[in-house]
């Protein structure tokens, strides 16, 4: 590589596992892929999802209220903060260990508990659609709705789940600190789970009952840090059009305009590949020379070297 590139990596849930033991194993594999990029001369910032983890924390907090009626229900924003901390704990330790194993001793690793401001008038609050937590029976769901004022929806015949809003990120509150750490050479983990959603009330930041899409938050962070590349890691090596059909086509290097056309034609599934491609387009068109890459975790290095993945640029 000609020069040191600044990269923001958005880790998908498959890079973290679904349980604590799975996460402990997964972060070791994830760390190897990230340190591969550092060895290629890249400056890396890490963001991650928290879908299974925030649901697990939320369930644990609900169980606590059942055991002790004096315990108030824990706000979702606090559950997001908890998930950021314990994912960051595992991830930063695994990254530090992998760096030291390779003889890299001059890169400190740190997790930033990150708040992300959202607009209280975002239309997403009028139509909560992001499922979190476990499946419930109709009776259980009705009880949760009555006791906690949760919005419960039936989910594809599998039962009922709580749904919350997924507003667009407007501002990363701690971006100044994140930027200072990155500029000083730290390997920073930030915007975990899309960030802790907050709204501004004067000088007060109030937690919002929402979850922010981690790909959109990663895109915003990449722009704010003037990154060269946004890597969105997912469960497939490349994005595809006509996915699962006889005329399926895997996408390599495409332009922003081509990606927008594929979005308009409905090629990408909402809640799955669509937000990834939308975030990739947003970053790639934000400044000449910026690139977005969608690929598998274990193919990240090959993707940076131009060997695989879906690359989007102007």
Catalytic residues: 13-14, 130, 214, 276
DSSP structure class, residue 287: S
Report which of 150, 168, 43, 193 is spatially closest to residue 104, judged by C-alpha positions.
Answer: 43
Using an 8 Å Cβ cutoff, are 14 and 235 in contact?
A: yes
Residue 254, strand partner residues: 312
Find out whether 45 and 192 touch, Cβ atoms under 8 Å.
Answer: no
Residues ≥6 apart with Cβ < 8 Å to 244: none
Q: How far apart are CA 54 and CA 84, in angstroms?
A: 9
Question: Would you say 181 and 112 are in contact if contact means Cβ atoms under 8 Å apart?
Answer: yes
Does residue 259 contact residue 276 with C-beta atoms inside 8 Å?
no
Distance in angstroms (rounded) separating the CA atoms of residues 198 and 181: 23
Counting every residue written for the chain, the total comes to 314
Asked if 75 contacts 212 with a C-beta cutoff of 8 angstroms, the reply is: no
Residue owning tokens 């109709």: 138
Structure tokens at 187: 């390997």
d(CA 161, CA 128): 12
At 105 the three-state DSSP class reads coil
């Amino acid at each position: 590589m000609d020069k040191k590139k600044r990269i923001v990596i958005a880790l998908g849930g498959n890079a973290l596992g679904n349980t604590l033991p799975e996460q402990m194993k997964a972060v070791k594999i994830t760390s190897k892929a990230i340190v591969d990029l550092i060895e290629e001369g890249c400056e890396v910032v890490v963001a991650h999802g928290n879908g299974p983890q925030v649901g697990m924390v939320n369930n644990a907090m609900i169980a606590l209220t059942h055991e002790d009626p004096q315990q108030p229900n824990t706000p979702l924003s606090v559950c997001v903060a908890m998930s950021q901390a314990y994912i960051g704990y595992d991830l930063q330790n695994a990254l530090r260990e992998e760096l030291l194993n390779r003889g890299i001793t001059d890169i400190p690793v740190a997790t930033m508990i990150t708040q992300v401001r959202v607009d209280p008038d975002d239309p997403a609050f009028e139509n909560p659609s992001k499922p979190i937590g476990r499946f419930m029976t109709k009776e259980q769901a009705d009880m949760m709705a009555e006791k906690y004022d949760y919005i419960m929806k039936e989910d594809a015949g599998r039962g009922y789940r709580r749904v919350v809003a997924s507003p667009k990120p407007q501002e990363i509150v701690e971006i100044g600190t994140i930027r200072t750490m990155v500029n000083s050479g730290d390997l920073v983990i930030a915007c975990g789970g899309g960030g802790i959603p907050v709204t501004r009330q004067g000088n007060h930041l109030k937690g919002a009952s929402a979850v922010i899409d981690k790909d959109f938050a990663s895109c915003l962070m990449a722009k704010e840090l003037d990154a060269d590349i946004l890597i969105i890691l997912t469960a497939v090596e490349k994005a595809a059009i006509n996915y699962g059909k006889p005329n399926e086509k895997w996408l390599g290097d495409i332009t922003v305009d081509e990606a927008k056309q594929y979005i308009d034609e409905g090629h990408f599934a909402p809640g799955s590949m669509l937000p990834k491609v939308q975030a990739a387009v947003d970053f790639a068109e934000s400044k000449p020379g910026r690139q977005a890459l969608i690929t598998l975790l274990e193919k990240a290095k090959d993707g940076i070297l131009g060997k695989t993945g879906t690359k989007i640029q102007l």
